[in-house]
């Protein structure tokens, strides 16, 4: 049985880009608990492009996320980029781990994470590398699969482009996730419209496109006060906007 594949409805992951404070985490989780969310997300270690901005609250944030899991019975997922992150996340009972786009580009680092994950029965999601390379993405997925974790899923979050050359922050290059789906029909694939678009007014249209293409799920950044967010402010949506988005999504049954 797949952790990520729901018959007929998307596996929905929501929560803020970054865990900023205990209040922000609990406020978001309270709002999301009433919706059909399968997994709460929050970044604890943030891979910022340039130094000098918020890089995450680290271990302290794991305490807040543990509270979300215990108080709301809502599983939590975090990004891990170092073996030490894996050790800490597991110490706080985090349910799901994911590998970010800037880590998937580096096979040495992915292998270090795979070695640290050996035999650990957690679901792990692997974001596509920032560059448009299906084999590199698949290679990251295979390294984690060989570690014998519970299950591996793919997250499509778009591909870097020179600024201004794409309508979105990261180009979707839909042919790449389609190729991945064709080569690995068994694999769950989740779309991240937040990091693809980089702007909240476009999140719904990309989420719908992913549903039309029979993706298995969505990861959507959600913040109680998006304009004040400490990272990715332009693309986060409120829990209320997420509820509207989910209600308006048209889900077509997969026939293949
Ligand atoms: C994130 O999910 O907040 C994140 C940093 O994503 P990505 O690795 O896709 O840039
Ligand atoms: Mn983000």
Bridge partners of residue 189, in order along the sequence: 154
Give the CATH number for residue 238. Answer: 3.20.20.70
Nearest listed ligand to the Cα of residue 236: 2
What's 155's DSSP letter? E
Closest ligand 1 atom to Cα of 231: 3
Q: Are strands 76-79 and 123-127 parallel, antiparallel or unpaired?
A: unpaired
In tens, the pLDDT along 129-188 reads 999 999 999 999 999 999 999 999 999 999 999 887 789 999 999 999 999 999 999 999
pLDDT at 165: 77
The domain containing residue 63 runs over which residues? 11-248
Q: Is ligand 1 within 6 A of the CB of residue 43?
A: yes
The bound ligand whose nearest atom lies closest to the alpha carbon of 81 is: 1
Q: Confirm whether 256 is domain-assigned.
A: no
56 lies in a domain? yes
Ligand 1 neighbourhood includes 195 CB (under 6 angstroms): yes
How many structural domains is the chain composed of?
A: 1
Q: Which residues make Cβ contacts (< 8 Å) with residue 167, sequence separation at least 6? A: 202
Does residue 109 form part of some domain? Answer: yes
3-class DSSP state of 183? helix
R_g over Cα of the chain: 17
Ranges of residues in the chain whose predicted pLDDT is under 50: 256
Predicted structure pTM score? 0.97
Q: Whose CA is nearest to atom 10 of ligand 1?
A: 101
Residue 142 lies inside a defined structural domain of this protein: yes
Q: Is residue 28 included in any domain, yes or no?
A: yes
Residue nearest atom 4 in ligand 1 by C-alpha distance: 100
Contact 144, 97 (CB under 8 A): no
Distance 220 CA to ligand 2 centre (A): 9
pLDDT of residue 256: 43
Q: ipTM score here?
A: 0.99
């Amino acid at each position: 049985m797949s952790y990520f594949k729901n018959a007929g409805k998307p596996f929905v992951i929501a929560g803020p880009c970054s865990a900023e404070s205990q209040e922000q985490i609990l406020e978001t989780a309270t709002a999301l608990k009433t919706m059909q969310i399968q997994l709460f997300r929050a970044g604890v270690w943030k891979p910022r492009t340039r130094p000098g901005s918020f890089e995450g609250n680290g271990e302290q944030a794991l305490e807040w996320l543990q509270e979300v899991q215990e108080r709301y019975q809502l599983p939590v997922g975090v990004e891990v980029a170092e073996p030490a992150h894996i050790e800490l996340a597991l110490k706080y009972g985090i349910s799901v781990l994911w590998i970010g786009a800037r880590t998937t580009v580096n096979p040495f680092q992915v292998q270090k994470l795979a070695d640290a994950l050996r035999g650990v029965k957690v679901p792990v999601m692997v974001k596509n590398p920032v560059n448009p390379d299906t084999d590199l993405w698949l290679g990251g997925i295979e390294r984690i699969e060989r570690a014998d974790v519970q299950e591996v899923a793919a997250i499509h979050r778009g591909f870097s482009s020179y600024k201004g050359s794409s309508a979105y922050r990261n180009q979707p290059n839909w042919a790449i996730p389609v190729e991945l789906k064709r080569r690995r029909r068994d694999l769950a694939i989740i779309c991240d419209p937040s990091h693809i678009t980089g702007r909240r007014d476009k999140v719904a249209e990309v989420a719908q496109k992913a549903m039309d293409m029979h993706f298995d799920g969505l990861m959507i950044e959600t913040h109680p006060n998006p304009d004040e967010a400490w990272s990715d402010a332009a693309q986060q949506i409120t829990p209320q906007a997420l509820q509207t988005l989910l209600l308006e999504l048209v889900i077509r049954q997969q026939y293949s």
